[in-house]
Structure 1
Amino acid sequence: MTRKTILSAVGLVIASFAVLTALNYATAKRLYHSLTLFNESVIVENFSNMSDIFETVEIEKTAPEHKFGQAYQPLPKTYLYKGEKRDTENFLEKTSTTALVVIRNNDIMFENYYRGTTESDRRISWSTAKSFLSAIFGVAVAEGHIASLQDPVTQYVPELKGSGYDGVSIKNVLQMSSGVRFDEDYGRFNSDINRFGRTMALGGSFDDFAASLEKEREQGEYLHYVSIDTHVLGMVLRNATGREIADYFNEKLWSQIGAEDSALYIVDSYNEPMVLGGLNLRTRDYARFGKLFLDNGQWNGKQIIPAKWVTESTTPDAPHLKPGKRDSSDINLGYGYQWWIPENADQEFMAIGIYDQYIYVNQKAGVVIVKNSANINFMDNGFESATETVEVFRSIVATL
């Protein structure tokens, strides 16, 4: 072997080592950020900069920006909760609010950003993204790509045969009633949702993760929140339409509602979007989506989401889905097609994400409220902050 050949071989080894080191560094960095993502000292910054931590796909803003009017007024100083008068500003502080936008009809009534964040931050949706996925799913149903919600998901995604989703109807997956075994405890290291998070950090397939889940109970009888149900809906949508989700999302929704900035979707190693919680948007763009549902799926006179789908999505249609205390669930809120319905709802529904992300829609009052947060105590007392947040929103509506 010549000296030149030896040097070339050494150079190749060094180059290969450098590439592997870089790849391992990127993986190690993602893992580190995943494990520290919710640390109190960095959570606010992380929630506004998820594209610096995870791989994302960008859905560019293409249509002219829809402009809101301005009719600012202050928030109510107090609200009632459990018969006790409480301070609104204190509530916003204790729930680590980072943004609050209130819209009535087409006017911004209140807008403020907190904890060093600004209006241009693209904030992580967490599970409010589920309601976005549901919206474009309804378009696919109307277009005839999906014949019936009673069809089993395996009719469209045969890769799920033999899994906990085998034979489960699309409707039961939409309504978080799949019967699949899943531990959504964010505070337990080895819970299913945290295992999913490590898949995102270390690399892997969301599809494979969904196929690994098993059945726990009969479908259609119990409201059990399974975030991966939404990913399965994404698999159905992808196969039924023959389209990439990001492209379909852009055509059917994002390019239609006058967004002011591009959207970012966190993706897995195969570039599949994290439809269960990986959207990153400006707060006013969350409000635009809320306004779309406020107006029964219409935007500037054009029907973007079928009105029938909006109604069905926000109407619990079985006893185990209705809000209030019930034997079949430990959740007091009601559920539709990836939307939550509060107790004693009067034309109200919500998209909710962990750490207190909200898109609250009150059709009777013509109001949308978006709250972004980084509340590390969101699970305390059986998610009591969700119940209290509804009362804060209702007090805001009452003053408009």
Structure 2
Amino acid sequence: MKSTSVQTVYAFFIMLHLVSTAGAAEQPYQHADEQIGTVRQVYDGKLYPDIQVNTFRNIDRLFPTRTVARGDSVSAIPVSDQPLQDFSYVVDGQTYDLYDVLAMNRVSGMLIIKDGEILFEKYLLGNDEHTRWMSMSVVKSITATLIGAAIHDGFISDIDDPIVDYLPRFEGTAYDGVTVRNLLQMSSGVDWNETYTDPTSDRRRMLEAQISQQPGAVLDLMASLPRAGEPGTIWNYSTGETQLAGALVQAATGMPVADYLSQKIWAKAGMEADANWWLQSEDGLEVGGSGLSATLRDYARFGLFLLNDGVINGERVLPEGWVEAASTRKVVGGETVPYGYMLWPLHGRSYAAEGIFGQYVFVDPDKDLVVAIWSAQPKPLNRAGLNEYVFLRALSDYFE
């Protein structure tokens, strides 16, 4: 439950940030004047390639946002004196190399970090190291990670607490009886249709509620959903669940989700730039499942944070064992599902945060490897030229 001193601590943190950044020169965003499309066109996959790229690096112009503030210092990532060279892999008798992956998957940025050093960093399609790019569902993993931080801080008592203990507005709805664990695993049992391109789907209904910018509209939609099964018996991927996850973080901590992210991770981990995060309404709740916009190196730093088991400079931010639990497959309704706590387990102990159109933060603890990828694939799903999982597995295997 919320500590009685949280508001005092939060106010002190914000005061320190304001003092430390006072007088700092604010550089204009180099992409700010580019022509962009609409959010409906994004989800419909109806943007021409040039406008799509402009839109993906300017998503803060689609909705109101809240800043995720960086801290006073930047955590440097050294560049290896032995950069990645001559990487290739074979699929069905065909050999592919890094050039193929970048070109065929319309990658707009890729950063590969091995043993804490940059082996490869490449920006394409007009991006550079200062560009901010959309996360899409990569931010689901960040929202879930903040729940872990809130448990470690004591704001959430236990992962098996009913969510209505923190969100009483959902008493009497299909979410009554759903636990924090169910929410993290997307096993609430609440009915949901995730089809991005179907204008009648729940996912598109949620988008329209977001477009309305009416306070509480998204959560009202979630409260209206019917039950498909008992909590913990059905796994169903639902962006809607992440809206409740964000609301849970805000309710438990007593502060905006973006500010909690800044306090617990963004500032402490030495991110080099402020990020921004979509809001469900002006000055309202963050969109828990999409809409974070950040630099490529800062996405990679989030991967390094996970790789280090949620510890920053010796300070534990996440409960011990949280990352392992979050990144391993779960049994739901008697069946093993390829999902953890809003992370996707892959080969070995590796896992990834993933977003449509080809966004990835990949972590392989066995190889001390982190890969951050931006892409601008033409449609929300099923348009990757090369299978990203096969590429990432081949990259892991390359480092024996």
TM-score range, shorter chain: 0.7 to 0.9
2:278 equivalent among 266, 271, 277: 266
Query: Are positions 1:139 and 2:149 aligned together?
Result: yes
Partner-residue secondary structure (3-state), 2:137: helix
Mapped partners of 2:335, 2:115: distance in 1? 28
Where structure 2 has 5 or more consecutive residues not aligned to the other structure, the ranges are 1-35
Where structure 1 has 5 or more consecutive residues not aligned to the other structure, the ranges are 1-30, 324-332
Residues 166 and 359 from structure 1, CA distance in 2 versus in 1: closer, same or farther, beyond 3 angstroms?
same
| Alignment check: 8 A CA contact 2:105 2:385 kept | no
What is the 5 A alignment of 1:1-400?
33-37=38-42, 38=45, 39-41=47-49, 42-71=51-80, 73-74=83-84, 76-82=86-92, 84-204=94-214, 205=216, 206-270=218-282, 271-318=284-331, 334-342=338-346, 345-377=347-379, 379-380=381-382, 385=384, 388-400=387-399
| Alignment check: 8 A CA contact 2:163 2:179 kept | yes
Mapped partners of 2:286, 2:332: distance in 1? 33
Mapped partners of 1:213, 1:82: distance in 2? 44
TM-score with structure 1 setting the length: 0.83
Q: Which residue of 2 aligns with 1:4?
A: none
CA shift, 1:51, in A, is 1.3
CA shift, 1:365, in A, is 0.4
CA shift, 1:181, in A, is 1.3
Mapped partners of 2:132, 2:222: distance in 1? 28
Mapped partners of 1:32, 1:293: distance in 2? 34
Mapped partners of 2:59, 2:379: distance in 1? 21
TM-score with structure 2 setting the length: 0.83
CA shift, 1:74, in A, is 3.6
Q: Which residue of 1 aligns with 2:32?
A: none
| Alignment check: 8 A CA contact 2:185 2:235 kept | yes
CA shift, 1:85, in A, is 3.0
| Alignment check: 8 A CA contact 1:79 1:391 kept | no
Mapped partners of 2:244, 2:60: distance in 1? 24
| Alignment check: 8 A CA contact 2:303 2:363 kept | yes
| Alignment check: 8 A CA contact 1:316 1:335 kept | yes
Partner-residue secondary structure (3-state), 1:63: coil
The Cα RMSD (Å) is 2.3
Q: Which moved more, 1:354-363 or 1:51-60?
A: 51-60
| Alignment check: 8 A CA contact 1:262 1:281 kept | yes
CA shift, 1:213, in A, is 2.0
CA shift, 1:301, in A, is 2.6
The residue identity in structure 1 corresponding to 2:62 is I
CA shift, 1:321, in A, is 9.0
More helix by share: 1
CA shift, 1:193, in A, is 1.1
Q: How many residue pairs end up in the alignment?
A: 356
Q: Deviations over 1:18-70 (max 9, x none)?
A: xxxxxxxxxxxxx9712223413321110100112221111222230000110
Residues 100 and 68 from structure 1, CA distance in 2 versus in 1: closer, same or farther, beyond 3 angstroms?
same
CA shift, 1:195, in A, is 1.8
| Alignment check: 8 A CA contact 1:98 1:114 kept | yes
Residues 125 and 139 from structure 1, CA distance in 2 versus in 1: closer, same or farther, beyond 3 angstroms?
same
Q: Which moved more, 1:71-80 or 1:107-116?
A: 71-80
Partner-residue secondary structure (3-state), 1:264: strand
Identity among equivalent pairs (%): 28
The residue identity in structure 1 corresponding to 2:232 is G
Partner-residue secondary structure (3-state), 2:374: strand
Q: Which moved more, 1:235-244 or 1:281-290?
A: 235-244
| Alignment check: 8 A CA contact 1:81 1:388 kept | no
